[in-house]
């Protein structure tokens, strides 16, 4: 593959890896590059067939953080060049802001396995971990949600999902062993033992659903490039 056939994965913290997305890309003969945005420089915009933006403990509207502001600029430049974006959790929020949507605190957290209503491949039982929620960008199509918030939307070839399709059983186990995440879970009234039990029950099925989601997004990315998008830039509300 040449450089234009590569997938760029933007990672924001060491314990939030591409998970099963990396496995799917390798199985489907996609080459990919992972960039840690807190420690590495962004590459040139427009060099990649698609971009996947992963989760973060930070909020996508916190433009006082240098790397978040820089990532907004980079993702916006890639979208203007016609590169499709798959946004996951924080990534879905950043994408929504670039497209003129809103992101704001939801007054609590959703953590654990959650029933998300919507058509396949977006609806189903997914792992979630977030405290902000998205107001859909103008011109987007909402495809999945819970009673508390939007969970999946599309805008042209761009896809944003608030849930975590990339999680594996090992990734959830690592999260449950991280002190800061355990504290957040306790604050949200979650139960680590229940999450572990449901992960054992649901992780394989969720991975199969994630692969259908990836297939839908990346087949479109490989077959044709979307029209460039120049959104109005970040908008948020406190």
pLDDT tens digit sequence for 123-161: 999 999 999 999 999 999 999 999 999 999 999 999 999
Closest CA to 98 of 233, 235, 238, 236: 233
- Angle between helix 20-27 and 192-223 (nearest 10): 30
Burial class for 136, CB neighbours closer than 10 Å (0-12, 13-18, 19+): buried
CA-based radius of gyration for the chain: 16
pLDDT tens sequence across 72-88: 999 999 999 999 999 99
Closest CA to 35 of 54, 50, 63: 54
Examine the residue annotation and report whether 78 is marked as an active-site residue of this protein. Answer: no
In the set 72, 89, 133, 155, the catalytic residue is 89
Burial class for 180, CB neighbours closer than 10 Å (0-12, 13-18, 19+): exposed
Identify the pLDDT of residue 238. 35
Examine the residue annotation and report whether 149 is marked as an active-site residue of this protein. Answer: no
| pLDDT band at 2; cut points 50, 70, 90 | very low
Would you say the pTM of this structure is higher than 0.75?
Answer: yes
Examine the residue annotation and report whether 145 is marked as an active-site residue of this protein. Answer: no
Domain 3-223, classified CATH 3.20.20.120, yes or no: no
């Amino acid at each position: 593959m040449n450089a234009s056939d590569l997938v760029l994965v933007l990672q924001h913290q060491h314990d939030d890896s591409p998970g099963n997305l990396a496995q799917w890309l390798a199985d489907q003969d996609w080459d990919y590059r992972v960039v840690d945005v807190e420690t590495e420089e962004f590459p040139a915009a427009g060099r990649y067939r698609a971009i996947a933006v992963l989760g973060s403990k930070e909020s996508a509207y916190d433009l006082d953080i240098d790397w978040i502001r820089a990532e907004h600029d980079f993702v916006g430049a890639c979208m203007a060049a016609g590169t499709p974006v798959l946004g996951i959790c924080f990534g879905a929020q950043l994408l929504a802001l670039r497209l003129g949507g809103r992101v704001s605190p939801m007054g609590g957290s959703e953590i654990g396995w959650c029933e998300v209503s919507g058509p396949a491949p977006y609806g189903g039982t997914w792992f979630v971990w977030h405290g902000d929620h998205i107001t859909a960008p103008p011109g987007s199509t909402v495809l999945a949600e819970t009673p508390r918030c939007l969970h999946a939307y599309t805008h042209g070839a761009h896809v944003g999902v608030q849930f975590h399709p990339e999680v594996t059983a090992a990734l959830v186990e690592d999260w449950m062993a991280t002190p800061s995440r355990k504290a957040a879970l306790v604050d949200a009234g979650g139960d680590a033992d229940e999450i572990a039990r449901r992960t054992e029950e649901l992780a394989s099925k969720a991975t199969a659903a994630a692969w259908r989601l990836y297939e839908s997004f990346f087949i479109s990315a490989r077959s044709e490039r979307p029209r460039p998008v120049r959104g109005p830039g970040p908008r948020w509300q406190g």
